[in-house]
């Protein structure tokens, strides 16, 4: 399976928070959307 698919998840509690996943990095980072 794709790691990116598992990494990429929506935030129901906070729409301001978004998850950004990098397949080449296999790392998930959360950032605030202003």
Express each pLDDT in 1-34 by its tens digit: 455 555 555 544 554 555 565 554 545 666 655 5
Quick one: 28 exposed, middle or buried, by C-beta within 10 A (0-12, 13-18, 19+)? middle
- The pLDDT value recorded for residue 1 is 44
């Amino acid at each position: 399976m794709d790691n990116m698919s598992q990494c990429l998840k929506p935030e129901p509690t906070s729409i301001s928070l978004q998850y950004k996943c990098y397949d080449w990095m296999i790392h998930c980072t959360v950032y605030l959307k202003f």
